[in-house]
Amino acid sequence: MAPQDAAATLSIERFFGFSLLGLVASGYLAVAGSGYLDAPTIALTAAGLLLRALVLAGFVPLRISDRAITLACLAYSAFFLADYFAFSRSLVEAAVHLIFFLAVVKTLTASTHRDHLFLAVVSFAELVAAAILSVNLNFFVFLACYLFFAIAALTSAEIRRSIRKTAVKARSGQKRFHSRLAMLSTSVTVGILALTAGLFFLLPRTADAALTRFFWHRIFIPGFSNEVTLGETGEIRLNSRPVMHIGSPRPEKLTGLKWRGNALSYFDGKQWTNHAVSWTPTGSGQWRACIDAPEQRQPGPYVDYEVELDATGSRELFFAGAPQIVRMAYSSLDCSGTDSFRLPEIAPEGFRYEVYSLLEGPPEIAPAGYFPRELTYETRSRNLKLPPLDPRIALLARTMTARAGTDLERARAIERRLRTDYVYALEMPSHQPADPLADFLFTRRRGYCEYFASAMAVMLRSLGVPARIATGFQSGIYNPITGLWLIRASDAHAWVEAWIPGNGWTTFDPTPPDPNGQAAGLLAKLNLYLDAAGTFWREWVVAYDPRRQGSLADRLQRGAGHIGFGWLDGLWHSGERLTATIEWLRKYSAAILLALAMSVAAWLAGPRMVGLLRMRLRVRRVRRGKAGAGDATLLYQQMLAIVKRRGYQKPAWFTPAEFAASLPDGAFGSAVGEFTTVYNAVRFGGRTEAAQRLSMLLDRLEEAPAVQEQGLRP
């Protein structure tokens, strides 16, 4: 095999290898992006794919023997049992680990057609699994990548097969093989996505991602569990993953609200929990009406809103204020003694519920005529119970409330002192103190929200005021692009609920503002656009149903009217269609004729203009010394055009050398002869470095004096 042919074959093999690797990597990233893979599997699989990329690029020589592969598979067979019984303790997770192990092994050792087919099947299975597990926008991104690499792999595989089947080799174009095939794959991918987009929006989905009910993300943050450990929220504050999206007809009324998920009453000095919480069903028993509206409407501000939960792996629901009416796809809710609510089963990803809530006003101006129920002896005792505490804590509470005369004044005094005398910070202590609450109040004097909430609740209890901590989220950030409030995991928060006579359970927040505040600038705006794209994906792709389809059609119709296409509706619904058509043609005749003229001109002159532009670009490349054998043919055609203008035309049966020899002697004939000699050297001899000489000879031919003799010399 000639060196040039061997290089071309190696280039095609390498392109096919990278295409197949991209196919597997796209499926792997789609599954990893869904959030259902554990960190070791993600890291080890990524390392294997990266190693394969280095091998294909020629940076790392790697040859794994069949014996080593067999031993590795036997070793993993033993590890599979340990994984199932000791580590994962789940057959599904252990099987997923096994599949990714085999995928990495095959990726590193694939050499036969059967291996390549196995990798293609594995990558497709990964993509199908990601389609079931994920409802996020990143699946669409990885799907586009998968299509691109699939087309690249199919086309390059066909080229490999053709090369091995026949001895016929391409004479040109091998140097641009990668770019040309990559452009082909890109254009076909874009075409597939564009053609399927219309069909995708014409056919609504009604399953509502039902399969996602069988899976859930493992997110353990305040509001999702029945325990909060001091120092836990600081780590969560670093997680910007979306948790909820909340919309309202009046989004400004949601500013500054807290989204309550749970309330915890038992404190052991380091951790808040709820022991033996009893849940009772509540609701009307009617479809999509879970809580009855009270017979007598209580005075106060009300707000209605809709909550969409991302994957939480939890049954808890979040509310602002006291929910009066809840509408969703369940006929009842479970309610606890701490006024918390949860679903009968784990909330699926993208679960929605509508709420009509009574917002809590300042207790100092509580509406007249509202008398909350009294606390039972058991509830009061539970919310006054204290663990063994540093005696300085009770003394500090009495000092802070020395001038307060009521429970409300005591709560406000402690809240105010904690917000002014202490600092909010995310730094963890170098070691876990024996008494974290005393360490926070008297040593560090800085901490997370659960430190502030725990300190206030404990000090209120030491004064005889029933108190507990509530967990959930702060108001989040408003996204003007979607018109929704975005609640992230970093918005997790803990605050205090104290029992105030005449007001009931009242909210207090002793945590001072975060000195770092909300991120601003280009990165924050980019996050909002990414969140808007994800919201669009969930709303118009995952949850696309006939109702969404009708809404989209209505938007398109109204949008057409705004941009000047309202004539279409009038033309369609008019009874006198012929008259309307004539009137429309008369109105838009000038624009139509102009558009037609421009289209005809582009159709007639477009190919020639494109050809001239390509010719100019190739000539410039030749003049810079970057030319190939194909460029020599282009320059020779330009030379023939110059010779034709001088009165000489090359017969089709003449070779270039015969045509040069037929020209009369002189400066012009010698220039043509020299040009032909260099052309043969470049075109057939492979001396591409001499191509720049052809450009110089063309300039000489343009300047050479015209020859008087006409015709060809015999």
Question: Does 370 lie in the same domain as 393?
Answer: yes
Same domain, 110 and 248: no
Helix (H), strand (E) at residue 552: helix 546-562
Inside any domain, residue 374: yes
How is residue 283 written in tokens? 């609701």
Question: Residue 57 above 50 pLDDT?
Answer: yes
Query: Residue 298 domain-assigned?
Result: yes
Please identify, among 533, 560, 587, the residue that sits at the C-terminal boundary of a domain.
560
pLDDT reported for residue 457: 95
326-365: buried (b, 16+ CB within 10 Å) or exposed (e) per residue? bbbebebbbbbbbbbbbbeebbbbbbebebbbbebeebee
Question: Do 65 and 198 have their domain in common?
Answer: yes
Q: What is the chain's mean pLDDT, rounded?
A: 77
Residue that terminates a domain, selected from 499, 518, 537: 518
* Residue 218 domain flag: no
Nearest Cα residue to 106 out of 123, 94, 93, 91: 123
Q: Which of 645, 653, 644, 637 is nearest to 694 (CA)?
A: 637
Distance separating alpha carbons of residues 361 and 300, to the nearest angstrom: 7
pLDDT at position 612: 66
pLDDT attached to residue 138: 74
Q: Are β-strands 484-488 and 492-500 bridged in parallel, bridged antiparallel, or unpaired?
A: unpaired
Element spanning 424, H or E: strand 423-424
> CB-based contacts of 84: which residues, under 8 Å, 6+ apart?
90, 91, 94
Asked which of 465, 491, 518 is the last residue of a domain, the reply is: 518
Strands 423-424, 504-508: pairing kind? unpaired
State pLDDT tens for residues 346-372.
777 778 899 999 888 888 876 654 555
Q: Is 155 in the same domain as 121? A: yes
**pLDDT confidence of residue 570:** 46
Comparing 385 with 204, the larger pLDDT belongs to: 385
* 338, 261: one domain: yes
| Lowest mean pLDDT segment, chosen from 17-21, 334-338, 558-562, 668-672 | 558-562
What span, in angstroms and rounded, lies between the C-alpha atoms of 635 and 382? 94
DSSP secondary structure code for residue 385 in this structure: -
Domain assignment present for residue 150? The answer is yes
The closest alpha carbon to 706, from 641, 643, 638, belongs to: 643
d(CA 218, CA 215): 10
In a domain, 574, yes or no: no
Give the tens place of pLDDT for each residue, 105-123. Answer: 888 888 888 888 888 888 8
The DSSP secondary structure of 401-421, one letter per residue, reads TTT--SHHHHHHHHHHHHHHH
What pLDDT digit, counting tens, does each position of 450-506 carry? 899 999 999 999 999 999 999 989 888 998 888 899 988 888 889 999 999 888 899
Same domain for 192 and 101: yes
> How does DSSP classify residue 690?
G
Distance of CA 417 to the CA centre of its chain: 43
Q: Show the domain range for 663.
A: 625-703
- Give residue 478's identity as a one-letter amino acid code: Y
Q: In what order do the strands lie in the sheet with 227-229?
A: 227-229, 271-273, 266-267
Residue 690, pLDDT above cutoff 80: no
C-beta separation of 451 from 469 below 8 A? no
509 and 542 inside one domain = no
Give residues with Cβ within 8 angstroms of 355, minimum separation 6.
304, 305, 306, 307, 319, 320, 323, 325, 326, 327
Q: What distance in Å separates the CA atoms of residue 702 and residue 451, rounded to the nearest whole number?
A: 87
Q: Are residues 455 and 403 in the same domain?
A: yes
Q: How far is CA 27 from the centre of its chain?
A: 15
Q: Are 386 and 332 in contact (CB under 8 A)?
A: no
* Residue 98 parent element (H or E): helix 91-109
Least confident of 149-158, 402-411, 582-591: 582-591
Structural domain includes residue 548: yes
What is the SS3 assignment for 253-300? HHCCCCEEEEEECEECCCEEECCCCCEEEECCCECCECCCCCCCCCCC
Residue 698, domain member (yes or no): yes
Beta-strand relationship, 271-273 and 352-358: unpaired
Nearest to 596 by CA among 588, 587, 608: 588
Q: Does 185 score more than 80 pLDDT?
A: no
**Co-location of 629 and 509 in the same domain:** no
Question: How many residues are there in the chain?
Answer: 714
Co-location of 444 and 407 in the same domain: yes
The percent of residues in the chain predicted with pLDDT above 70, rounded, is 71
| CB neighbours of residue 269 within 10 Å | 17
As a whole number of Å, the CA-based R_g of the chain is 37
Instruction: Please compute the mean of the pLDDT values over residues 287-315 and round it to a whole number.
Output: 70
Number of domains composing the chain: 4
What is the reported pLDDT for 562?
A: 47
Per the DSSP assignment, residues forming a β-bridge with 335 are 280, 341
Q: Does one domain contain both 397 and 464?
A: yes
* Residues 336 and 478 reside in one and the same domain: yes
Whether 587 is covered by a domain: the verdict is: no
- Picking from 671, 632, 620, 614, the residue whose alpha carbon sits closest to that of residue 648 is 671
